[in-house]
Amino acid sequence: MTKLSTDRRDERPESGRGQQSRIFGLGHDGMCVCPKCGNKVPHQRGSPCTQVECPKCGSKMFRE
């Protein structure tokens, strides 16, 4: 008889604190970039880049 294993942990992809940022967001590092003038500012945690206005031209920024 062959013993069947019910422990499937070996087959699951890694999961943990470090993996969440890759799955649900971009993490806390990075830059916000202006699509019009190219200005870059550091991303502020808790404030999406799409809600940040460029300090130079006032355009909404995006995440790099």
| Interval 8-47: pLDDT, tens | 555 555 555 554 444 456 667 899 999 999 999 999 999 9
Q: What is the pLDDT of residue 18?
A: 52
Count CB atoms within 10 A of the CB of residue 49.
Answer: 19
Q: What is the pLDDT of residue 13?
A: 58
Q: What is the pLDDT of residue 4?
A: 60
Q: What is the pLDDT of residue 22?
A: 47
d(CA 44, CA 39): 15
Mean pLDDT (whole number) for 52-56: 96
What's the pTM?
0.56
d(CA 35, CA 46): 21
